Amino acid sequence: MAELRQGRESQNRSVTERAKSWKPPQTLPDVSPRDGWAHRWIRTSIVGKMDNANVSARFREGWEPCKTEDYPELHVMVDRDSRFPGNIEIGGLLLCKAPVEIMDARSEYFRNEAKAQMLAVDNNLMKENDPRMPLFKESKSTVTFGGGKK
């Protein structure tokens, strides 16, 4: 006797699908990468007080504010009392861009500064080292093969 089977159309994956979990939305929207540009959110105020020193320092580093018309994908409501009209500012943070070459040079500068500081700390520490009582004993082990008696 032949079995009665249901067709594949009747099997619906939506029935076995897990329920979608909810996540709170991000405070700041993601910026789509642009060739040759690095993006960063710069602090313009903290706890309602303007942070002019930070904004000025970042502008001197090479960051420049992003215009809202250049980023139509960012559908955001900018701050009402923004000191940067026509730019993207959310919650005291201003979206800025800078050429990648400048930011790579900046990163290299700070990497070299960190290396120099670590070298200075190591040299200062090793200056206090005494061979009779070393701060660090670097041990080296060697492995040799053969040479045994036959």
- Tens digit of each residue's pLDDT (9 = 90 or more) over 37-89: 999 999 998 888 999 999 999 999 999 999 988 888 877 776 777 788 888 88
Burial of 47: CB neighbours in 10 Å, binned 0-12, 13-18, 19+: exposed
CB 74 within 8 A of CB 89: no
**What is the residue extent of each domain of the chain?**
39-98, 100-129
- Tens digit of each residue's pLDDT (9 = 90 or more) over 81-93: 778 888 888 888 9
